[in-house]
Chains A and B, each alone.
Chain A
Amino acid sequence: MIRTAATETAPILKVNDLRVHFPVRRSFLQRIRGWIKAVDGVDLEVRRSRTLGLVGESGCGKSTLARAVLGLLSASGGSVVYRGRDMTGLSEKEMRPYRREFQMIFQDPYGSLNPRMTIGQSIEEGLRTVGMERRERKARVGELLEQVGLAAANEDRYPHEFSGGQRQRAGIARALSVGPSLVICDEPISALDVSIQAQIINLLNDLQESLGLAYLFISHDLNVVGYLSHDVAVMYLGQIVEYAPAEALYAAPRHPYSKALLAAVPTIEKGREGFVRPLGGDVPSPMDPPPGCRFQGRCPLVEDRCREAPVTLEAVAPDHLVRCWKAL
């Protein structure tokens, strides 16, 4: 495919005001009792060769967002625009040609590899769906395995014969088999041993460099996100509370939640003396969130106005958006 200069700089993925709401039904007569606003008005964009890190704690909606972007969940509102084409509302058939363009890498590669198929067969399945001929497929499987750092001879082995790190490599090879331009990585290294994590992180970096991949990198680990990302979006209860170049966010987070999150990350540099007073409370339920700022219940800076009106995402610097009055 020939890409003009204009398409190089245009975002590969653009998400506009995306909403995913789940109804909560009362068991009797299935009446709707309330809504879980898992994703509630999210905007973001990912460009070629760039990584957008998406961080937040469990239940903040980051995995739901990923599923909606992939079209695995239907959106309640907003749009997912892929290279200028709106994907929302496309039928399964209309969606198919685009499926190969965005792929996902999961936390547990066991879940994405068929245990009864060899690694080679799993990867070949991807190649077949994009219409590659049998003769070419065999050679391509070998190439893909080598590309993720596995010997081509591994193609006849089954997933259970691999170690965790090797299995994640195989999962990546399968995702790459259809030639995606965007890869959504959902906690891809969380299940791996510490000594193996760096291998996979380096591999993801290498692949981005050589293939120009765009990554949406979802993780709760701020150390990994900080290392890999160009831009970072911090999510809390279904909304983005801060969106900034990683450099700016890590140097000086502006939203009280981002500050607390970064302060809570244990790092060796901080050591035993660098321990700060942690944020109180737990992440509240996304069902019927409070009016006003969603962080109000845990925020050390909360004021009356935070409880009254919703807070919007505002620019505090070019490319740096924050959802807090106090940051303006």
Chain B
Amino acid sequence: MELKTETLLSVADLHITFKTLAGPAKAVEGVSLGVRRGETVALVGESGCGKSVTALSFLGLLPRAAVVEQGSARLGGVELLGLDEEELRKIRGRRISMVFQEPLTSLNPVFKVGDQIGEAIRVHEAVDEDEIRRRVVTLLRDVGIPNPEERLDDYPHQLSGGQRQRVMIAMALSCNPELMIADEPTTALDVTVQAQILALMRSLQEERRMSILYITHDLGVVSQVAERVYVMYAGMIVEEGRTPTLFEDPRHPYTQGLLASLPSRGKRGRRLSSIPGHVPDPACRPAGCPFHPRCPRAMESCRGSVPTMIDLGDGHQARCLRAHESAPNPAEPGQRPADGDRRVKG
């Protein structure tokens, strides 16, 4: 396997604040992450953790109320934050493209899908209409749409949900971007169609050596697509690492809690361990470690200041004062720390 070492996207100390009637709400607090060329990276978190806002900021697509307070996001040496609209337009679609959760809201219902896919090519490249048509047909074939010559003249409502998402992906691929940001691309799809789209994205990425930043809340999906994972909680990256390492040996109590709470047939008869409480409101996040009020392993010092990322080797890092301890395993009582009973009733 080739080594993926060249960094394509590098985000450092990103802070984004929303202006609200109740005062400023910190959506993203010091996010740093990197995506290498040809790599699939997942950004995982629950609703409101700031994962989508982080991605939207790279493309200058933040809502008006959001302000990038500080930080940088560089794509192969070019600083993306603070670019004006004209400069951003050269990047969007051509170097970075985005696939959203609900294709029906991202596709224009009154234009034929062929024209919509061709639009990016028309904007970015000086080619004639015949060439555009040829390329659109190839793209539709690449994303697995049968009879692409005929589908070109269809409107979005004539396609099924899975096919619409394929069209979105074709659109995102139209100018051979270096980075594709996929924000919950399969959440609205059925299980068997989700599997088709995930397989498609994997094969496209291998063929094109494109990088993918995959934003999702679904840990099962992450384990199937991503080589590396960033776990986000309350606007911060709390853990990062290679996918197998992170799932086998999670070190942040939030990651541990998420993994332990996933139901499966194999866990039947055992009580699911759940994370007590709920995700804090961005307008009033707790001081210190943002997870401490829900954390079964919290100590007095967790309330004081936000812990730094602790390096655990091989790119595995966790933002926890107790990151050097392994996960408490309820199946083996001997390994459980004294305060490790995680069956807190919600």
A residues with a Cβ closer than 8 A to B are 57-58, 149, 163-166, 193-199, 201-203, 205, 220, 222-224, 226-228, 246, 250, 260-261, 263-272, 274-280, 282-283
Q: Is B315 an interface residue (CB 8 A)?
A: no
Pairwise interchain contact A195-B267, C-beta atoms closer than 8 A? no
Q: In the complex, what's the smallest C-beta–C-beta distance from A253 to chain B, in angstroms?
A: 11
Among candidates A57, A193, A194, residue contacting B219 with C-beta atoms closer than 8 Å: A194
A128 to B340, CA, bound (A): 44
Pairwise interchain contact A270-B265, C-beta atoms closer than 8 A? no
Closest 9 CB pairs of A and B: A226-B265, A266-B220, A278-B195, A198-B261, A227-B263, A198-B274, A264-B195, A57-B190, A199-B346
Q: Is B192 an interface residue (CB 8 A)?
A: yes
Contacts of B219 in A (CB 8 A): 194, 268
Contacts of B220 in A (CB 8 A): 223, 265-268
Known: A193-B279, A271-B223. A265 touches B261 (CB 8 A): no
Pairwise interchain contact B265-A194, C-beta atoms closer than 8 A? no
Among candidates A227, A276, A279, residue contacting B267 with C-beta atoms closer than 8 Å: A227
Known: A199-B346, A270-B224. A283 touches B278 (CB 8 A): no
Closest to B221 in A: A266
Known: A202-B274, A266-B220, A271-B224. A261 touches B192 (CB 8 A): yes
Pairwise interchain contact A266-B198, C-beta atoms closer than 8 A? yes
Pairwise interchain contact B202-A275, C-beta atoms closer than 8 A? yes
Pairwise interchain contact B261-A194, C-beta atoms closer than 8 A? yes
Closest to A251 in B: B265
Pairwise interchain contact B243-A272, C-beta atoms closer than 8 A? yes
Return the CB mask of B245-286 against A: 1 if under 8 Å, else 0. 001000000000111011111111001111110110000000
Pairwise interchain contact B265-A227, C-beta atoms closer than 8 A? yes
Q: Is B199 an interface residue (CB 8 A)?
A: yes
Among candidates A198, A203, A278, residue contacting B263 with C-beta atoms closer than 8 Å: A198
Pairwise interchain contact A195-B192, C-beta atoms closer than 8 A? no
Residue pairs across A and B with CB atoms within 8 Å: the count is 147
Pairwise interchain contact A220-B275, C-beta atoms closer than 8 A? no
Among candidates B191, B244, B261, B273, residue contacting A222 with C-beta atoms closer than 8 Å: B191
A163 to B279, CA, bound (A): 9
Secondary structure type dominating chain B contacts: helix
User: Besides the contacts A250-B265, A266-B195, what 15 more A-B pairs have beta carbons closer than 8 Å?
Assistant: A166-B278, A194-B46, A194-B219, A195-B257, A196-B346, A202-B272, A223-B262, A223-B265, A224-B263, A264-B192, A264-B195, A274-B224, A278-B195, A282-B161, A282-B162
Among candidates B46, B190, B263, B278, residue contacting A223 with C-beta atoms closer than 8 Å: B263
A195 to B278, CA, bound (A): 8
Closest to A285 in B: B160
Pairwise interchain contact B223-A270, C-beta atoms closer than 8 A? yes
Pairwise interchain contact B271-A202, C-beta atoms closer than 8 A? yes
B residues 213-257 near A (Cβ < 8 Å) are: 217-221, 223-227, 243-244, 247, 257
Q: Is B4 an interface residue (CB 8 A)?
A: no
Q: Is B64 an interface residue (CB 8 A)?
A: no
Contacts of B199 in A (CB 8 A): 275, 277-278
Q: In the complex, what's the smallest C-beta–C-beta distance from A301 to chain B, in angstroms?
A: 16
Closest to B226 in A: A272
Contacts of A274 in B (CB 8 A): 224
A280 to B227, CA, bound (A): 26
Contacts of A165 in B (CB 8 A): 278, 346
Q: In the complex, what's the smallest C-beta–C-beta distance from B281 to chain A, in angstroms?
A: 9
A92 to B267, CA, bound (A): 42
Return the CB mask of B310-346 against A: 1 if under 8 Å, else 0. 0000000000000000000000000000000000011
Pairwise interchain contact A201-B263, C-beta atoms closer than 8 A? yes
Known: A224-B263, A226-B263, A270-B223. A198 touches B273 (CB 8 A): yes
Closest to B270 in A: A227
Pairwise interchain contact A264-B265, C-beta atoms closer than 8 A? no
Pairwise interchain contact A279-B345, C-beta atoms closer than 8 A? no
Among candidates B224, B259, B261, B267, residue contacting A197 with C-beta atoms closer than 8 Å: B261
Return the CB mask of B155-167 against A: 1 if under 8 Å, else 0. 0000011110000
Return the CB mask of B187-201 against A: 1 if under 8 Å, else 0. 000111111101100
Pairwise interchain contact B217-A149, C-beta atoms closer than 8 A? no
Contacts of B308 in A (CB 8 A): none
Contacts of A195 in B (CB 8 A): 46, 257-258, 261, 274-275, 278-279
Known: A193-B279, A198-B275. A283 touches B221 (CB 8 A): no
Q: Is B47 an interface residue (CB 8 A)?
A: yes
Closest to A166 in B: B278
Contacts of B346 in A (CB 8 A): 149, 165, 196, 199, 202-203
